[in-house]
Amino acid sequence: MGVSAQEDLYKEATQTYGATLQRLARAYESDPDKRRDLLQDIHLALWLSLEKYEARCSLRTWVYRVAHNTATSHVIRQHRTNSRELFSLEQIEAMPDGVNPARDAGDRMAIERLFELIHQLKPLERDVMLLYLEDLDAATIAEITGISAVHVRVQIHRIKVILTRRFHKGGHS
Amino acid sequence: MSSQPHEPDFKNIWQNQETEKVIMSVEEVRFNARKYLRRKKRDLIARSAFVVLAAASIGIFLTNARFTSLRFVAGMVMATLLTSTVWNLLRVYRSSERPWSSNRSAPNAAMTSCIEFYRSELERYLAYAGLPAWQLVTVLVIIGWMTRDALTRNSTDPFRLMLPYVLLAAAGLVMLVAVRKFQARRIQDDIDALEVFENEIHAGGSHDTAADKHEK
């Protein structure tokens, strides 16, 4: 692929998905400095990847995969050294009310509570949740993540239950 | 959903959150890409230079030195380190078709689904965390043997001056092995959890669950 075509694709990708990438970086890294580095890494990976872009999948799927996979690498790197435990949706759903830190933050903004929940999740479940919040359908989420559409729907159902329960009891209206 | 309480519009909340207006320009990304590739190239050159220097040092050391058992052990330690470095270098070359040009992992990230990528990354980190363990243990055993030899004899071998540094290095290696082991265990736990998750997918993929029917 020529450099100008790569540039055009990159511009198109950042114009269309720039805000999504920022939200994703925020969902994967709470520290502002590290988040900036992560966002740079995502843009760099996207730029390098577009050199080999083939129209076998849509630009959207391509961008989401690069972004989510780069962010996953970041999480694994961080998780190797820090002691913070990550949970699956099933584990979060089963957590008793008393040990749920998000529940106690009743007066905080809804978005902050959403981030608190997202930062607790394991990478794959985090991917599904973010893609759901970006309003992608189950089939597209399945294509990006490699998880079957049936299982994606199961995950989305869990996500909805968890969100509804937490937001309702957390005082959001 | 009728049985559930009032549900906020999570998607709307999520998508309308304030984001910083930081859009990277093409020039900026291109500059970063060049910097990244230059760093990769420098790393490869540094590794290669280290191997050449180590090989030259061992050659000079073994040909000029008086042949004592202590020096023999020192030579073995150096040879082990050299072998492991060459081995690592070969792995870098083998894992990269075009090490000078572009990052292979970026297109891989685009062409691989999240679940495959997650697994491959975990396995890569596990291999990385496990790799130095046996090499370092080998070096430690040799250093232990060398230290015992130096402490029990009263020779005037100048190599003895290096002993405190060797012991310090040995202590550092023990720490490093311990950290690597800890990291490897954490990654292995993540791989085990992923396998459970995959089994759950396969089990759930063959039939529609209650939640799935509900979603439909």
pLDDT of residue A67: 93
pLDDT at A7 over 60: yes
By C-alpha distance, which of A112, A100, A135 is closest to A30? A112
What is the complex's ipTM, to 2 decimals?
A: 0.77
Q: Which residue of A has its CA nearest to B180?
A: A80
**Which whole number is the average pLDDT over B38-42?**
82
- Among A12-26, A109-123, B54-68, B194-208, top mean pLDDT goes to A12-26
CB-neighbour burial class of residue B200 (10 A; exposed 0-12, middle 13-18, buried 19+): middle
Confidence of residue B207 (pLDDT cuts 50, 70, 90): very low
**Which whole number is the average pLDDT over B112-120?**
88
Share of chain B above pLDDT 90, in %: 0
By C-alpha distance, which of B37, B111, B119 is closest to A66? B111
- With an 8 Å Cβ cutoff, is A6 touching chain B? no
Contacts of A127 in chain B (CB under 8 A): 114
- Among B58-62, B178-182, B199-203, top mean pLDDT goes to B178-182
pLDDT at A98 over 90: no
pLDDT at B108 over 50: yes
By C-alpha distance, which of B28, B150, B181 is closest to A80? B181
Interchain proximity A134–B109, CB inside 8 Å? no
Q: Name which of A88, A124, A140, A148 to mutate to probe chain B: the one with the most chain B Cβ atoms within 10 A of its Cβ.
A: A124
Q: Where is average pLDDT lowest: B68-82, B104-118, B190-204?
A: B68-82
Average pLDDT value for chain A? 83
**Which whole number is the average pLDDT over B21-41?**
81
> Which positions 66-105 of A are in contact with B (Cβ < 8 Å)?
66, 68-70, 72-73, 76-77, 79-81, 88
Q: Which residue of A has its CA nearest to B33?
A: A44
Residue of higher predicted confidence among A73 and A107: A73
Give the Cα separation of B87 and B79 in Å (integer): 12
pLDDT tens string B147-196 = 565 555 555 555 566 666 667 777 777 787 788 788 888 888 889 988 88
Give the Cα separation of A125 and B197 in Å (integer): 10
Distance of CA A166 to the CA centre of its chain: 19
Q: Which residue of B has its CA nearest to A78?
A: B183
pLDDT of residue A106: 44
Q: Which of A14, A122, A135 sits opposite B23 (nearest CB)?
A: A14
By C-alpha distance, which of A126, A161, A123 is closest to B215? A161
Confidence of residue B19 (pLDDT cuts 50, 70, 90): confident
By C-alpha distance, which of A53, A49, A42 is closest to A19? A42
Distance from CA of B40 to the nearest CA of A (A): 14
Q: Which of A69, A81, A160 sits opposite B109 (nearest CB)?
A: A69
Q: Which of A10, A45, A153 sits opposite B26 (nearest CB)?
A: A10
Q: Which residue of A has its CA nearest to B37?
A: A48
Confidence of residue B81 (pLDDT cuts 50, 70, 90): low
B199: its two tokens: 């089994």
